Structure 1
Amino acid sequence: MIQLALASARPRAAVPGRGLLDPSVTRLRVRLGDLDFYRHVNNGVYLALMDVGRANFLADLGAFGHLRERGWYPVVAASTVTYRRSLTLGQRFEISTRVLGWDARVVYLEQTFSRNGEHIARGIVAGRFLSRSGDRVPAPDVVALLGGPGVDSPPLPDDVAAWARAVDVAAR
């Protein structure tokens, strides 16, 4: 929670030339509070760490000021994580966050965890933006703000499109 608060309240500097479809990398280390009874990162902690990665992704784009001006903020509509390896106390790792595409409702992101080039876990997130009044902001409006007008969504990978339909977040 502290890492997310810092990443959101005091975002890192924007990366010049960073585009909406460019990946963002967050480097972290496993802390004692990240561990469960079995001494590896708890599955719920992965979701919190993904929040930090997404906050840094927005920071890299210089998005926080633009979103704040409009009163828009991100929320997770759905997420799933698959795990391949464990992370344990003190290990350094990276979370790479990238936009896979979007539809009329949500933006789809992939977040991969790796350690020394080894795949640890993969998260897929359907993100939505809301206004302070509680209204949903269409994903293309957010994309136009952060990526520039006229940016077309890449085709979603088949597994992500199938997942989006299965959890009922895909545009109808």
Structure 2
Amino acid sequence: MLQLALVTLRPRAAVAGRDLLDPSVTHLRVRLGDLDLYRHVNNAVYLQYMDLGRSNYLADLGAFGRLSARGWYPVVAASTMSYRRSLTLGQRFTVTTRVLGWDGRVVYLEQVVERDGQLVARGWVAGRFLSRAGDRIAPADVVSAIDGGDRVSPTLPDDVATWARAVDVAHR
């Protein structure tokens, strides 16, 4: 939680020339508080790692100021995870975050956790943006605010589109 608060309140510097569709990499290390009774990273902690990755993704784009000026902030509408390997105390790993596309309701992201080049976990996230008044902000408006222009979403991979319909977040 402290890491997320720091990343949000004091985001890392924007990366010059970063494109909306470029991946963002966050380097982390497993801490004692991340472990469960079985001495590996608790499954819920992966979601916190992904929060850090998404915050760093926005920071890399220099988007925090632009979104904050409009009173917009991101929330998770749905997520799913698959786990392949465990992480244990002290291990270094990365979370790679990339936008897969968007529709009229949400932005779709893939987040991959890797250690030493091996897949540890993969998550898909459907994210929304809300205003401080509680209104939903159209993903196209968010993309325009971040990117500075009108942009068409890439075609979502079939498995992600199927998942989005199954969890009822896809644009109707």
TM-score for the superposition, normalised by structure 1: 0.99
Aligned to 1:87: 87
In structure 2, C-alpha distance between the alignment counterparts of 1:107 and 1:52, rounded to whole Å: 17
Partners of 2:109 and 2:125 within 8 A in 1: yes
1:4-23 equivalences in 2 (<5 Å): 4-23=4-23
1:95-134 equivalences in 2 (<5 Å): 95-134=95-134
- SS of corresponding position for 1:134: coil
Q: Which amino acid aligns with 1:132?
A: R
Q: Tell me which moved more, 150-159 or 86-95.
A: 150-159
In structure 2, C-alpha distance between the alignment counterparts of 1:129 and 1:112, rounded to whole Å: 22
In structure 2, C-alpha distance between the alignment counterparts of 1:5 and 1:155, rounded to whole Å: 33
Partners of 2:19 and 2:61 within 8 A in 1: yes
Q: Deviations over 1:36-69 (max 9, x none)?
A: 0111100000001100000000000000100111
Q: Please state how far the C-alpha of 1:72 moved relative to its aligned partner.
A: 0.2
Q: Tell me which moved more, 144-153 or 20-29.
A: 144-153
Q: Please state how far the C-alpha of 1:151 moved relative to its aligned partner.
A: 1.5
Identity score, percent: 73
Q: Which amino acid aligns with 1:108?
A: Y
Unaligned runs of 5+ in 2: none
In structure 2, C-alpha distance between the alignment counterparts of 1:148 and 1:155, rounded to whole Å: 21
1:35-54 equivalences in 2 (<5 Å): 35-54=35-54
TM-score for the superposition, normalised by structure 2: 0.99
- SS of corresponding position for 2:46: helix
Q: Which amino acid aligns with 1:78?
A: A
Q: Please state how far the C-alpha of 1:13 moved relative to its aligned partner.
A: 0.2
Aligned to 2:155: 155
Q: Please state how far the C-alpha of 1:149 moved relative to its aligned partner.
A: 1.6
Unaligned runs of 5+ in 1: none
Output the aligned Cα RMSD: 0.6
Q: Please state how far the C-alpha of 1:147 moved relative to its aligned partner.
A: 2.1
In structure 2, C-alpha distance between the alignment counterparts of 1:15 and 1:2, rounded to whole Å: 23
1:49-60 equivalences in 2 (<5 Å): 49-60=49-60
Q: Which amino acid aligns with 1:103?
A: D
In structure 2, C-alpha distance between the alignment counterparts of 1:35 and 1:141, rounded to whole Å: 39
In structure 1, C-alpha distance between the alignment counterparts of 2:81 and 2:113, rounded to whole Å: 10
Q: Which amino acid aligns with 1:72?
A: W
- SS of corresponding position for 2:21: coil
- SS of corresponding position for 1:37: coil
Partners of 2:140 and 2:150 within 8 A in 1: no
